[in-house]
Structure 1
Amino acid sequence: MDTISGKGFSFVKRIYVPRILGKTVGMLAVTAALAPTEPPIWVWVLMLVNGVLWPHVAYRWAMRSHAPYHAEQRNLVIDSLMAGFWAAAMQFNPLPSLTILSMVTMNNVAAGGRPLVQRGALAQASGMLLGMALLGPHLQLHATDLQVYASLPMLTLYPMALGWVSYQLATHLAEHKKRLSDLSRTDSLTGLFNHGYWKDRLRRKFLICQQRDGMAVVALIDIDHFKTINDTYGHVIGDRVLRHLSTELKQSLRETDLAGRYGGDEFCVIFPKTTQEHACLAMERLRERAASYHDPELPELRISLSIGLSAFHGDFADSEQWLEDADRALYNAKRQGRDRVDVAKPVFTGLRLAWPE
């Protein structure tokens, strides 16, 4: 409900200024068309109320509502009702009547699509019947030069205002879509790519290397004894360690390197266009920086990393096999005492590729 209300407030705010402009320039067309008919004084008072006060009343009314979006749609239906009334009051003078009715309908199309257009058309018809009941059924098919000129601001300024609102909405939606896209591919704790998105990028990189005989290296990084850190100091400290490592990764890597959180305390990196030696140096630097971690509140806490590397080669059947190769190197680093970088060492036997047990 809070989310719906938030969207409703934004919707009300976007319509506020265009309604003020539309009512202001609309009064010019209505005044020019009403004057020759000599309507009763209450019609002039109603025009001032509808043109000057109503935009502010509608805004406050919708903003104070528990459902501002629906309240604003109600306001748009009232706008349609009044447009129909003014068309009848102007004795259906073609240019000003069609101008006001079409602009209100344009509002309904932009704000609510077909359902609001249908409700608005019914409201317009009701307004016309109300106007004819109060002022009599009259028809004036001739528009004077003054009435033509008085309708021009409505025909030019209001569509520009509505177009500007539509542009702002499109920009806002594009930004919102980008934020959603970022959230869908990013790990919320570390800000790195999440498991699914990183593996998708690994598959793409594998295909590129396979097709172009390119170079790339995959690294799997594991925080040594992370479960003990969580059990000893708590998950808050554990999360702090994970964020620290992600920060070190971002600072240590190139813009083209792709770092992600593989899961739990395990991280992953793709080094495109990189030799195994350069990737090994980068991971050694990361390991040393992690080892220098210092928490003033927990001076005894130390971090070490075990890292496995695997360089791409054409004998891999798919990206999963490439990743398994890096995982074997990571396991070997742990088996050899942890706190080290290990590089996968494939062994070629004839035309077949195998790894030493």
Structure 2
Amino acid sequence: MDNQRGKGLSFARRIYTPRAIGSGFGGLALIPFLYPLDIPIWTWALLLVNAFVWPHLAYQLSTRSAYPYKAERRNILVDSLGGGFWAASIQFNPLLTVIIISMMMMHNVAAGGPKLLLRGALAQVIGALVSCLLFGASFNAHTSNLQVYACLPVLILYPFSVGMVSYGLAIKLAEHKSTLRALSRTDSLTGLLNHGSWKDLLQLKFQKCQQNQSSATLALIDIDHFKHINDTFGHLVGDSVLRQLSTELQQNLRAEDLAGRYGGDEFCVILPNRSLSQAKEIMERVSQVFCDFRHAAEPELRVSLSVGLASYRLEYEDASAWLNEADKALYIAKKTGRNKICTGAADLLFDSAPIDPLST
């Protein structure tokens, strides 16, 4: 309910400015067309209300309604009813009648598409019939210079206002689309790339390494004994550990490095233009600061990382082979005591000295 009302209020705000400009300058344009005609005084009062009071009244009716969207669509039909009434009241002068019909069509299509366009057209016909019943039906094709000049402001300003509203809406839609795209690529807990997005980028980086003969290193990271952490301290503490590792990665990596959550307690990093030794230094730094992590509610909690590294090599047929080599290195690190950094057989095998979290 609140979400629908919010959308309705936004809709009413978008309509307000074009309506105020169209009604105001449209009302001024009507004056030289109505003045030569023998119309009753109440018609001038109605024109004043329609031109300068109705836009603000319509906005209040919409924003104060429990269903602003429906209320605003009713207001749009009132606009169309008035447009038909004034077109007939000026004896269907071709110039201003076409302007009124064009404004109504633009207004209705922008607000509600073909369905509202048809309903608006029906409202215009009803408004024209009411005017014909009151003043009689007639046609006047003559247009003076003054009448032409009176139409110029509305011809310029109304399309401009509709265009600006449409532009603002397009910008918001683009921002929402960008946000949704980012959310679809991001792991909700850690803020890093999710599994699918990271693997897509891995494929792109692999192709770039092939084409440019450039270097890069993969790192697969596993939080040691993470299941035990969850079982012992609870999932909320486990989530805080995952977020902490995400924070350390973001703070210790370059903008061009691509970190993601591979799944569960496993993380993955692509380090473009980094040699194996450089990647090792970076991962050692991340491991060290991560080992220093202490949870305020669980001071006895200790954490550490196992890391598998694999540098890009020409003999890899595809990105999966490269990733598999890093996975093998991670397996070695976990099977040989954890809390260390290892590489696979395709690279020079090395182990880092274990990082003892108890010594920090």
- The two structures have a TM-score, normalised by structure 1, of 0.93
Residue number in structure 1 paired with 2:180: 180
After superposition, give the CA deviation of every residue in 1:128-174 in whole Å (9 maximum; x if it has no partner).
Answer: 11111121112221112221121111111111111111111111111
- 1:209 and 2:202 aligned: no
Count of residue correspondences: 348
Secondary structure at the aligned position of 2:296 is classed as: coil
| Counterpart for residue 105 of structure 2 | 105
Cα deviation per residue 1:282-304 (whole Å; 9 max; x = unaligned)? Answer: 00110001011122332211110
Secondary structure class of the residue paired with 1:36: coil
CA 1:288–1:347 in 2, change beyond 3 Å: closer, same or farther?
closer
C-alpha distance in structure 1 between counterparts of 2:57 and 2:234, whole Å:
55
2:151 is aligned to: 151
1:268 Cα offset (Å): 0.5
Counterpart for residue 351 of structure 2 = none
Separation of aligned partners in 1, 2:21 and 2:62: 18
Work out the CA distance in 1 between the residues paired with 2:64 and 2:319. 56
**Which residue identity lines up with residue 53 of structure 2 in the other structure?**
L
* Contact kept? 2:310, 2:347, Cα under 8 Å: no
Deviation at 1:218, TM superposition (A): 0.9
Per the alignment, residue 239 of structure 1 pairs with 239
Q: Give the match for residue 352 of structure 2.
A: none
Distance, in Å, in 1 between the alignment partners of 2:113 and 2:328 is 58
Q: Which residue does 1:257 correspond to in 2?
A: 257
**How many Å apart are 1:92 and its aligned residue?**
1.0
Structure 1: gaps (5+ residues): 349-357
Number of the residue aligned with 2:193: 193
> Match for residue 165 of structure 1?
165
Tell me what 2:357 maps to: none
Q: Give the match for residue 332 of structure 1.
A: 332
Alignment of 1:317-328 (within 5 A): 317-328=317-328
Residue 114 of structure 2 is matched in structure 1 by: 114
Aligned to 2:33, what secondary structure does the other structure show? Answer: helix
- TM-score w.r.t. the length of structure 2 is 0.93
Tell me the secondary structure at the aligned position of residue 345 of structure 1: coil
Equivalent AA in structure 2 for residue 170 of structure 1: A
Q: List alignment gaps of at least 5 residues for structure 2.
A: 349-360
CA distance in 2, matches of 1:168, 1:14: 9
Residue 90 of structure 1: how far off its partner (Å): 0.9
C-alpha distance in structure 1 between counterparts of 2:258 and 2:70, whole Å? 45
C-alpha distance in 2, partners of 1:307/1:317?
23
Amino acid in the other structure paired with 2:121: A
Question: Which residue number in structure 2 is paired with residue 73 of structure 1?
Answer: 73
**Counterpart Cα distance in 1 of 2:263 and 2:63:** 44
Q: Does residue 95 of structure 2 align to residue 95 of structure 1?
A: yes
Deviation at 1:2, TM superposition (A): 4.1
Q: Is contact 2:186-2:193 (8 Å) kept?
A: yes
- 1:347, distance to aligned residue in structure 2 (A): 7.7
Secondary structure at the residue paired with 2:282? helix
Tell me the equivalent position of 2:6: 6
Residue 127 (structure 1) aligns with: 127
1:38-97 Cα offsets, whole Å, 9 max, x none, are: 211221222122122211221122223343233322221221111010000111122222
Kindly indicate whether the alpha-carbon contact (under 8 Å) linking 2:92 and 2:139 is maintained by their aligned counterparts in 1: yes
What is the percentage of aligned positions where both structures have the same residue?
54
- Aligned residue number for residue 57 of structure 2: 57
* Structure 2 residue matching 1:262: 3-state secondary structure: strand
Q: Deviations over 1:177-236 (max 9, x none)?
A: 110110110111111000110011111111222233221111111111111111121111
